[in-house]
């Protein structure tokens, strides 16, 4: 559906993208992760045909991305770019005209899009009266009004409360189930885990890792991560070295990779004689994978 081939882009000689390539399949949600400055904005601007790469190509349904087929894309920018003095229906009508939706189709298309995002009863509500979550859903409706094949979303739930975030996630899942392809940038690792089928980790312009969560898990040679709080960190660290455990610091206290799943009793037995204040274990998650990929990229 959408393919990125060997993209390079530099600003004043400073590389922003270095050979990025990946592809998206129909009905797939792809998350693009990376710290600030990783190249996500540059990549999104190229995908939206707002910026030309120095090298490489973007293919949309087997055709080079161009002004002619960019209408197959729907874009939801990080900021809600809509007219707050207009009603929801008027906003959609304005953008439907820009996208060239034929006049006879517009009324039904507007009603359908608003219904799809849960704003069917708000067609005549002025945009500035909507909550933050509703405004975000209105932005998504605007991006859907011309029935795109690919939806690109930049930080779709940034600044939303938990309830509004879940509403957007449910909406994106509905779009995916309809066969639409979605690409989203996000800083929320939970969002990527819950919504996306595949994940790409961008760092300093390079796509350092990509795949499903199951495909990314082997990047960490561990089954679980154990978190320990203790007043004797040196003692625990020495014991962990003796046991051959890899240490990482994810939050307060010490964290170690466990090569196999163990009970808490078995873990405590490994540190017998040391003062352990608290101990917890968890499966390897996207957070651990992301931090490890970026750590290795810095090395």
**For the segment 218-245, what is each residue's pLDDT rounded down to a tens digit?**
999 988 999 999 999 999 999 999 889 9
**Residue 114: pLDDT over 90:** yes
Q: Are 148 and 118 in contact (CB under 8 A)?
A: no
Section 171-177 average pLDDT: 93
199 CB contacts (<8 Å, ≥6 apart)?
Answer: 30, 31, 33, 192, 210, 211, 212, 213, 216, 286
d(CA 87, CA 37): 36
**For the segment 123-133, what is each residue's pLDDT rounded down to a tens digit?**
999 999 999 99
Q: Are 76 and 118 in contact (CB under 8 A)?
A: no
The CATH T-level fold of domain 221-283 is Alpha-Beta Plaits (3.30.70)
d(CA 92, CA 1): 26
Q: How confident is the model at residue 215 (pLDDT cuts 50, 70, 90)?
A: very high
Q: From the CB of residue 256, how many other CB atoms can be counted at a distance below 10 Å?
A: 23
Task: Please state the domain extents for the chain.
Answer: 2-216, 221-283
102 CB contacts (<8 Å, ≥6 apart)?
Answer: none
d(CA 194, CA 29): 10
Section 14-43 average pLDDT: 95
Look at residue 297 in the predicted model and tell me its pLDDT.
Answer: 87
Look at residue 299 in the predicted model and tell me its pLDDT.
Answer: 67
**Residue 14: pLDDT over 80:** yes
Whether 2-216 and 221-283 share one fold: the answer is: no
**Residue 153: pLDDT over 90:** yes
Edge-to-edge order in the sheet of strand 55-60: 14-24, 2-11, 55-60, 63-64
CATH 3.40.50.300 fits 2-216, yes or no: yes
**For the segment 266-285, what is each residue's pLDDT rounded down to a tens digit?**
888 889 999 999 999 899 99
Mean residue pLDDT across the chain: 93
Look at residue 260 in the predicted model and tell me its pLDDT.
Answer: 85
User: Comparing C-alpha atoms, which of 81, 60, 82, 80 is closest to residue 71?
Assistant: 60
Strands 73-76 and 150-154: parallel
Share of the chain above pLDDT 70, in %: 100
Residue 211, classified by CB atoms within 10 Å of its CB into exposed (0-12), middle (13-18) or buried (19+), is middle
d(CA 219, CA 183): 23
């Amino acid at each position: 559906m959408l393919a990125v081939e060997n993209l390079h882009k530099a600003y004043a000689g400073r590389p922003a993208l270095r050979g990025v390539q990946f592809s998206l399949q129909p009905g797939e949600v792809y998350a693009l992760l990376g710290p600030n400055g990783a190249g996500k904005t540059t990549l999104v601007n190229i995908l939206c045909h707002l910026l030309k790469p120095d090298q490489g190509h973007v293919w949309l349904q087997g055709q080079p991305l161009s002004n002619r087929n960019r209408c197959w894309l729907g874009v939801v920018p990080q900021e809600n770019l809509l007219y707050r003095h207009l009603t929801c229906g008027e906003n959609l009508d304005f953008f439907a005209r820009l996208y060239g939706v034929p006049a006879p189709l517009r009324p039904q298309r507007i009603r359908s899009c608003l219904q799809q995002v849960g704003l069917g009863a708000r067609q005549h509500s002025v945009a500035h009266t909507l909550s933050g979550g509703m405004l975000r859903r209105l932005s998504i409706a605007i991006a859907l009004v011309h029935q795109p094949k690919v939806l690109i979303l930049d930080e779709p739930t940034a600044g939303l409360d938990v309830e509004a975030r879940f509403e957007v996630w449910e909406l994106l899942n509905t779009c995916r189930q309809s066969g639409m392809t979605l690409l989203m940038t996000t800083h929320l690792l939970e969002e990527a885990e819950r919504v996306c089928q595949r994940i790409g980790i961008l760092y300093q312009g390079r796509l350092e890792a990509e795949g499903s969560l199951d495909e990314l898990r082997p990047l960490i040679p561990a089954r679980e991560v154990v978190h320990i709080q203790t007043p004797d960190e040196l003692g625990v660290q020495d014991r962990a070295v003796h046991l051959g455990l890899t240490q990482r610091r994810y939050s307060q206290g010490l964290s170690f990779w466990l090569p196999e799943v163990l009970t808490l009793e078995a873990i405590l037995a490994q540190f017998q004689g040391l003062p352990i204040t608290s101990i917890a274990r968890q499966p390897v998650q996207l957070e651990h994978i992301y931090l490890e990929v970026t750590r290795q990229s810095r090395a």
